[in-house]
Amino acid sequence: MPAPLLELKGLQVEFTTFEGRGVTLDIDRLEVLEGESFGLVGESGSGKSLTALATLNLVPNPPGRIIRGEVWFQGRDLLRLPPREMGRVRGAQIAAIFQDPMSSLNPVFTVGEQVTRVLMHHQRLDRKTAYRRAVELLETVRLSDPETVGRKYPHELSGGMRQRVVIAIALSCGARLLIADEATRNLDVTIQAGIIDLLTELKCRTGITVLYIANNPAVVAEICDRIGLLYAGQLVEVGPSAAVLAGGGHPYTRALLAAIPRVGDTREVLEVTEGFPPDPIRPPPGCRFHPRCRRASPECQAATPPAVTLGPDHRVYCHHAGWSA
Ligand SMILES: Nc1ncnc2c1ncn2[C@@H]1O[C@H](COP(=O)(O)OP(=O)(O)OP(=O)(O)O)[C@@H](O)[C@H]1O
Ligand SMILES: [Mg+2]
């Protein structure tokens, strides 16, 4: 098995709002292996973006705060790096794409200028060489007529084209890890498929490790070697995509899979999980899924579930791991 490129250990993030203070993100252990595509999946508010932000030590403070934990990347704990060194890791070694490309692009510069400036800053290239490289990168992300696209401002491009520009910027410095946080969320289905294809192709070509964040486990499992599921800020299951999708693991994973319609489905009504995800400021004690779990017993409420190994590199955080349906 390849070595971990990124390792989160005992990571806890707390938020203070007018409703109170609570540990919103609480990840026991999560590894992203060198060269793999890892998918982090969870419903809205489960802590996916927070995991990405904590990895980059960018949790907004206030209202948030990393209260404990370690983020190991290439032999260094990123949470303990001096700000200047962390600045060099961001962009140059870990690149990130977020769901709204407009938030990553500057509206007052042409996109060609923006890619050029990143290359001048991080790669120390002169303007002419950086511009030539920028046009090449726009072509790499399959923007046709890259010279013309480079002369346009972000608002003159479609959402899909903007996201391709952001991907070009992310790839410009030869980063080892790419974090794609819902990179296709606001795009039409066909444009989404194009961006996913592009990311898959770039991954094959460059060998970059990808942390892919999304909310649909079936879509993520298709493009990722391994996936991890978050529920209310806690990791509930992690393992090879096929093993997790087989559905023999955490009750939450089973519930999620049962709610997804499949081709050839004969069910007239899809299964739903009663209740709502908990308030992240006041999460329930023990297993955070227990108020909605059919298998819940008193111990689920009393203690944080242990990590139980179900198979090679497949673990589930559940007091009843391994139960059959
Ligand atoms: N700026 C903030 N102020 C207060 N609470 C916040 C803030 N940012 C995040 N949180 C808390 O952290 C939780 C997780 O947020 P996060 O953005 O990681 O969710 P997500 O899984 O990325 O959801 P989505 O799919 O909607 O992007 C939220 O439910 C919220 O309670
Ligand atoms: Mg998010």
Q: Which atom belonging to ligand 1 lies closest to the Cα atom of 280?
A: 31
Q: Residue 18 — pLDDT band, cuts 50, 70, 90?
A: confident
Residue 214 near residue 241 (C-beta atoms within 8 A):
no
Nearest to 196 by CA among 204, 210, 184, 205: 184
Contact 297 CB / ligand 1 (< 6 Å): no
Strands 177-181 and 209-214, by their bridges, are: parallel
Q: Is the pLDDT of residue 325 over 60?
A: no
Contact 46 CB / ligand 1 (< 6 Å): yes
Q: Residue 75 — pLDDT band, cuts 50, 70, 90?
A: very high
Question: Residue 308: CB partners within 8 Å, gap ≥ 6?
Answer: 315, 316, 317, 318, 321, 322
What average pLDDT score do residues 161-190 get?
Answer: 88
Residue 215 near residue 42 (C-beta atoms within 8 A):
yes
Contact 49 CB / ligand 1 (< 6 Å): yes
pLDDT of residue 323: 60
Q: Which atom belonging to ligand 1 lies closest to the Cα atom of 52?
A: 18
How far is the centre of ligand 2, averaged over its atoms, from the C-alpha of 182 (Å)? 7
What average pLDDT score do residues 285-312 get?
Answer: 92
User: Residue 102 corresponds to which tokens in the numbers above?
Assistant: 């407009």
User: Residue 288 corresponds to which tokens in the numbers above?
Assistant: 């955070």
Question: Residue 321: CB partners within 8 Å, gap ≥ 6?
Answer: 249, 250, 305, 308, 310
pLDDT of residue 190: 82
What average pLDDT score do residues 92-97 get?
Answer: 91
Indicate the average pLDDT of the chain: 90
Q: Where are the beta strands (DSSP E) in 182-281?
A: 209-214, 226-231, 234-240
Q: Residue 215 — pLDDT band, cuts 50, 70, 90?
A: confident
pTM exceeds 0.85, yes or no: yes
User: Residue 248 corresponds to which tokens in the numbers above?
Assistant: 């023999």
Strands 226-231 and 37-41, by their bridges, are: parallel
Distance CA 70, CA 320 (A): 28
Q: How many CA atoms lie within 13 A of 159 on its CB side?
A: 14
Q: Which atom belonging to ligand 1 lies closest to the Cα atom of 42?
A: 21
Nearest to 252 by CA among 297, 306, 291: 291
Contact 42 CB / ligand 1 (< 6 Å): yes
Name which residue leads in pLDDT, 103 or 4: 4
Q: Whose C-alpha lies nearest to ligand 1, atom 31? A: 280
pLDDT of residue 141: 92
pLDDT-above-90 percentage for the chain: 62
Domain 4-93+175-317 matching CATH 3.20.20.70: the answer reads no
* Structure-token match 């407009």, residue found: 102
Number of Cβ atoms within 10 Å of the Cβ of 266: 5
What average pLDDT score do residues 83-89 get?
Answer: 91
pLDDT of residue 324: 57
What average pLDDT score do residues 248-274 get?
Answer: 79
Residue 300: strand, helix, or coil: helix
Contact 283 CB / ligand 1 (< 6 Å): no
Distance CA 177, CA 158 (A): 26
DSSP type of residue 176: S
Q: Residue 322 — pLDDT band, cuts 50, 70, 90?
A: low
Residue 78 near residue 71 (C-beta atoms within 8 A):
yes
pLDDT of residue 76: 96
Q: Is the pLDDT of residue 269 over 80?
A: no
How far is the centre of ligand 2, averaged over its atoms, from the C-alpha of 164 (Å)? 19
How far is the centre of ligand 1, averaged over its atoms, from the C-alpha of 182 (Å)? 13
